[in-house]
């Protein structure tokens, strides 16, 4: 019994002294990895014969409502370690966290239905709210 307790203390000491090798990276470190490439204004991809920027403005992201999240929190199922990335990337689904956006969106939903765009391609949260520099609803507009 004494031997097992001693082994536990040694393991604890190794974990404490071992630094961060055993921990998973922080959200900031993971996002910094993404921004190492996506922070570059020259990063583009060809779509329908034109160059589309893949740049993410780090300052806008840091000032947005989702600043405390890692990139992979919104880009679910994305395997950032696979380089080059998949040719087709699944779009972000804001409803995975925001299942009920509330009454503030009732007017927009009614307009979308009236114009026949409800659920149509191009009708999305990002159409009004943007992508990475999303302002908090608590921010006076």
Least confident of 63-67, 70-74, 88-92, 136-140: 136-140
Please tell me the predicted confidence (pLDDT) of residue 55: 96
Residue scoring higher pLDDT (66 or 118): 66
Judge whether 40 and 82 are in contact, CB under 8 Å.
Answer: no
Please tell me the predicted confidence (pLDDT) of residue 48: 93
Residue scoring higher pLDDT (115 or 83): 83
Q: What is the mean pLDDT of residues 3-22?
A: 44
Please tell me the predicted confidence (pLDDT) of residue 112: 64
Express each pLDDT in 98-125 by its tens digit.
877 666 676 666 666 666 554 444 456 7
Please tell me the predicted confidence (pLDDT) of residue 130: 83
Mean pLDDT, the chain, rounded, equals: 74
Please tell me the predicted confidence (pLDDT) of residue 24: 52
Question: What is the share, in percent, of the chain residues with pLDDT greater than 90?
Answer: 23
Segment of 9-23, 62-76, 85-99, 124-138 carrying the highest mean pLDDT: 62-76
């Amino acid at each position: 019994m004494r031997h097992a307790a001693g082994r536990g203390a040694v393991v604890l000491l190794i974990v404490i002294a071992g630094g961060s090798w055993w921990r998973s990276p922080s959200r900031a470190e993971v996002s910094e990895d993404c921004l190492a490439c996506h922070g570059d204004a020259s990063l583009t991809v060809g779509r329908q014969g034109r160059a589309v920027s893949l740049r993410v403005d780090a300052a806008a992201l840091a000032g947005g409502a989702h600043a405390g999240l890692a990139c992979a929190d919104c880009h679910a199922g994305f395997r950032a370690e696979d380089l080059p990335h998949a040719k087709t990337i699944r779009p972000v689904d804001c409803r995975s966290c925001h299942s009920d956006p509330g009454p503030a969106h009732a007017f927009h939903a009614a307009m979308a239905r009236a114009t026949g765009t409800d659920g149509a391609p191009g009708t999305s949260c990002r159409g009004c709210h943007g992508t990475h520099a999303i302002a908090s609803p608590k921010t006076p507009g």
